[in-house]
Amino acid sequence: MPRASTLRIARLAALALVLIVIIYKVTNPSSLTALSRAAGYHEKSASSPGPDQKGAVTSGDMPAAPAKEDVKSEEEPAVDVKTPVDEGKDYVRANATFVTLARNQDIWSLVKSIRHVEDRFNRKYHYDWVFLNDDDFDDHFKEITSSLISGNVKYGKIPKEHWGYPDWIDQEKAAEVREQMRQKQIIYGDSISYRHMCRFESGFFFQQELMKSYKYYWRVEPDIILHCDVDYDVFKYMEKNGYDYGFTLSLYEYIDTIPTLWNSVKKFIKEHPEHIAENNLMDWLSEDNGITYNKCHFWSNFEIGNLDFWRSKAYGDFFEFLDHEGGFFYERWGDAPVHSIAAGLLLPKEKVHFFDDIGYWHVPFTNCPTNKADRLKLKCSCNPADNFVWKGYSCTPRYYDVMQMKRPSEWHQQS
């Protein structure tokens, strides 16, 4: 037989064999489950980090995923891959939730964030997730987000009085400001919704019905990245250490968005000296003992915090005072400087915590753990050269100084 024909027959035989195997697997889905189990997939997804002084989940107390209401179809494999190990049912979660403000159209930016948070942290702990919107969430948004999250998921609509103009605001004056800011090309300067968002995040997210039962929260925005494993329960860590506010990035605010904010803060300090904590972070916020603001703020697109702080009388008075000053609409005050100044002045400084070990990105800045040993241990995917923390525009070096904290040994390589 000619050599070319022999080769053709051999190729046809191989193709037929491959087809038979594919047809067998498609018609026997359980064989795929068995294969993945044999490869250790379930065991691996349920494996836990070793004991850590920060309170890592160990195999003995791995939390079980809360029961979901979804009805499963009979065709699904018997093993629920979301449920790690049986011992997990005894793990006691902190009273905490993730919280995300979003619109329906944010869905595809948001799924990336959720995936990162689940993969790096929440698949081990199954904390709840609250979504808030000034509109109704649609079924598509709910279906996709709930399929990705391993804890309970809740969807809330923000009441009108928390997303709109208070009656003391002159809307014509506000419109003039937006036009001036548009001409000056100030980012989001001409946006009405951005202002409602900033005011909502400043004064109302913690007042939402769905948030009322929680004590701690982790704020997550669309399009963020978690660069490293978070191998301990951050909420319990906040609780155990008495922290009320945690951040990953800090920087200088764009002054054109808050020209009179500090004047208002100074008026508040005069009116309410009783709310100012004794051992506060004023030296981080100001280089002249409070006369001027140096514009340092924690970047609030990431926050892990204690909701009771925002619900306190001190913060309530602070927000109400600022709200009446009108700067959310007559300027473009952001929730980042508002939260930061509050955390910096109303809390004693030991209640604020820098999460140096949470590798985080929100366009355009990165927090990448400074020391190589930490990046390796936490399986980080960030380039240390991108670490913003020690760069000139970051306020975190100043935070270290004010807190009299020792800088990580490799910081100077990233400045």
Number of H helices, E strands in the chain: 16, 12
142 binds ligand GTP (CB under 6 A): no
Q: How far is the CB of 301 from Mg ion (least distance, A)?
A: 5
Read off the tokens for 132.
Answer: 């808030």
Pick the catalytic residue from 118, 201, 253, 303. 303
Asked if 161 is an active-site residue, the reply is: no
Q: Where are the alpha helices (DSSP H) in 184-259?
A: 192-203, 234-241
CA separation for the pair 243, 307 (Å, rounded): 11
- DSSP assignment of 214-234 equals -SEEEE--TT-EE-S---S-H
Packing angle, helices 335-346 and 313-325, rounded to 10: 140
DSSP state of 247: E
Q: Does 256 bind ligand GTP (CB under 6 A)?
A: no
Interatomic CA distance for residues 328 and 202, integer angstroms:
10
Assess 138 for contact with ligand GTP (CB under 6 A): no
Q: Which residues contact 401 (CB under 8 A, 6 or more apart)?
A: none
Give residue number: closest CB to ligand GTP.
Answer: 193
| CA dist., res. 80 & res. 202, Å (int) | 40
What's CA 215's distance to the chain center, in Å? 16
Residue 203 binding ligand GTP, by CB under 6 A: no
Query: What whole-number distance in Å separates Cα of residue 324 and Cα of residue 413?
Result: 46
- Span interacting with Mg ion, options 99-107, 216-224, 237-245, 375-383, rule CB under 5 A: 216-224
Q: Among 57, 62, 94, 101, which residue interacts with ligand GTP (rule: CB under 6 A)?
A: 101
Q: Which of 169, 231, 162 is nearest to 200 (CA)?
A: 162
Q: Which two tokens stand for residue 287?
A: 């280089």
Under the binding rule (CB under 5 A), the answer on residue 374 touching Mg ion is no
Among 57, 97, 99, 106, binds ligand GTP (CB under 6 A): 106
Could you tell which of Mg ion, ligand GTP, none binds residue 14, using a CB distance below 5 to 8 A set by kind?
A: none
**Which residues 261-320 are close enough to bind Mg ion by CB under 5 A?**
301
Q: Which of 42, 54, 82, 103 binds ligand GTP (CB under 6 A)?
A: 103
Find which of Mg ion, ligand GTP, none residue 154 binds, CB within 5 to 8 Å per kind.
Answer: none
User: In terms of CB distance, is 118 or 335 closer to Mg ion?
Assistant: 335
- Contact window for ligand GTP (CB under 6 A) among 40-48, 49-57, 94-102, 205-213: 94-102
In the list ligand GTP, Mg ion, none, the entry touching 103 (Cβ below 5 to 8 angstroms by class) is: ligand GTP
- Figure out which of the listed residues 87, 221, 317, 374 binds Mg ion, where binding follows CB under 5 A: 221
Contact call for residue 194 and Mg ion (CB under 5 A): no
Eight-state DSSP code of residue 164: S
221 in contact with ligand GTP (CB under 6 A): yes
Alpha-carbon gap, residue 211 to 200, rounded angstroms: 14
208 binds ligand GTP (CB under 6 A): no
> Does the footprint of ligand GTP cover residue 306 (CB under 6 A)?
no
- Beta bridge partners of residue 192, listed in sequence order: none
Contacts with ligand GTP by CB under 6 A lie at 100-103, 106, 133-134, 193, 197, 221-222, 301, 363
What residues make contact with Mg ion under the rule CB under 5 A?
221, 301
What amino acid positions are annotated as catalytic residues?
303
